[in-house]
Amino acid sequence: MTLKYDIGKVLFSQEKIASRVTELAAQIAKDLAPGRELLVVGILNGAVFFLTDLVRSMPRDLDVRIDFMSVSSYGNETSSSGVVRILRDLGSDIEGLDVLLVEDIIDTGLTLSYLLEFLQTRRPASLKTCVLLDKNVRRMVPVAVDYCGFAIPDAFVVGYGLDYAGKWRHLPDIHDVEISKA
């Protein structure tokens, strides 16, 4: 049996996403200690759109740097394998820095939990998390999320950086994915 994947209904519109990202950026800027530099670490590839809009929404006087990591736990599947592999590590030292880890979605919590433990060994001054989407119903390990865009039901979603097998990242809205038998 072959499964067919199609774009479903819009869960979050481009306008709703933009509004929420602006709110998150304001809260992050407010919570950052005055005079501190913030290193924003995006998890490739899914968080690129979110991270870009998030840092562009931050006040101009905020001292912000950006770095990226690439990890894999999904491959071409619609659920996490539970095995996290680091494909690209940070390009900079984070010791003594305030670090904000930005992820597109958290579901099982395995990837984010692994990354937090991994980065904590590098002794940042602070390490906080910001996720666009929280699929809490699938959580397997507890993970503290400091900033969250939206809670979502147990649906596979695409758009605004989220993909299925590399497709549909470019969509400006977030859609659920309809799976049917072909």
Which residue among the candidates 53, 98, 104, 107 is catalytic per the annotation?
107
pLDDT score recorded for residue 74:
55
For residue 110, the one-letter residue type is L
The confidence band for 85, taking pLDDT boundaries of 50, 70 and 90, is confident
Q: In the prediction, which pLDDT does 177 show?
A: 94
For residue 79, pLDDT over 60 is answered with no
For residue 27, the Cα-to-chain-centroid distance in whole angstroms is 17
165: amino acid identity, one letter:
A
Q: What is the predicted pLDDT for the residue at 156? A: 92
pLDDT digits (tens, 9 = 90+) for 93-106: 999 999 999 999 99
Residue predicted with more confidence, 12 or 85:
12
Q: What is the mean pLDDT of the chain?
A: 92
Known catalytic membership, residue 107: yes
Measured distance CA(158)–CA(155) in Å, rounded: 10
pLDDT of 80 higher than 70: no
**Domain locations along the chain:** 14-154
Confidence of residue 15 (pLDDT cuts 50, 70, 90): very high
pLDDT of residue 40: 98
Annotate 127-145 with b (16+ C-beta within 10 A) or e (fewer): bbbbbbbbbeeeeeeebeb
72, pLDDT greater than 70: yes
Residue range 113-124, pLDDT digits in tens: 999 999 999 999
Q: What is the mean pLDDT of residues 142-166?
A: 94
Q: What does the pLDDT read at residue 75?
A: 52
Top-tier CATH class for 14-154: alpha beta
Please determine, for residue 9, whether its predicted confidence score (pLDDT) is greater than 80.
yes
Average pLDDT over residues 74-78: 51
Q: What is the predicted pLDDT for the residue at 81?
A: 53
At 18, is the pLDDT very low, low, confident or very high (cuts 50, 70, 90)? very high
Number of helical H runs and strand E runs in the chain = 3, 9
